[in-house]
Amino acid sequence: MKKFKRKELESCLQQVDGFEGPKLLLEQYPTRPHIAACMLYTIHNTFDDIENKIVADLGCGCGVLSIGSAMLGAGLCIGFDVDADALEVFNRNAEEFELTNIDMVQCDVCSLPEEMAKTFDTVIMNPPFGTKHNKGTDMAFLKTALRMAKTAVYSLHKTSTRQHIQKKADDWKVKMEVLAELRYDLPASYKFHKKKSVDIEVDFIRFSSEKKTNEGMT
């Protein structure tokens, strides 16, 4: 198993193709290679939650987090996304990297069946931030992720929503740790964007499921 330095991982992830025609309604913004590498390197090196683990990537898009997880030695990483076009790019990316420990499923992440509960060691995601037409989508993704994970969920959320998320985590009896505050560079992907890019502050959070029961997760 090749040991990657964070910069090496970031360099590899820069070769992952992104969205060809991002869809506003799905809040399709790419996870930048720098942020993806920071997330995955921390998950792998600090918490040992990737190597030989079964990993789910919710709202995987074109697969940068899945591909990074597979490169770091995940037993299997499965990406879930509703968008067939994004998964087509994901499939091409996986083939170009010649990865065999990776798969993808087209589905609505928020409608995954109960049978998926506790089927993954680790869930990683960069969910829709729940803005524009998608209010509450970030929390719906998180609720699904917490049901699926045996050990931990790693996710990005807008720093401005931290108190709201902490309250939900407390309600759900889940331990929440903010691992890092990151600046997320949103490129001007859509016509209404006036600036070339805009920085938003995001929290990289670990939710650990050892305190959790599925009861009361409403």
- Identify the band that residue 214 occupies on the pLDDT scale cut at 50, 70 and 90: very low
Q: Rounded to whole angstroms, how far apart are CA atoms 144 and 119?
A: 12
Tell whether the model's pLDDT for residue 26 goes beyond 70: no
- Identify the band that residue 1 occupies on the pLDDT scale cut at 50, 70 and 90: low
Q: Sign of the C-alpha dihedral, residues 156, 102, 18, 26?
A: negative
> Lowest-pLDDT range, 55-59, 111-115, 127-131?
127-131
Taking residues 47-59, what's their average pLDDT?
97
Tell me how crowded residue 62 is: count the other CB atoms within 10 A of its CB: 28
Query: Tell me, what's the pLDDT at 184?
Result: 75
pLDDT tens for 188-204 read 444 444 545 567 889 99
Q: Rounded to whole angstroms, how far apart are CA atoms 11 and 126?
A: 20
Taking residues 89-98, what's their average pLDDT?
94
Taking residues 30-57, what's their average pLDDT?
94
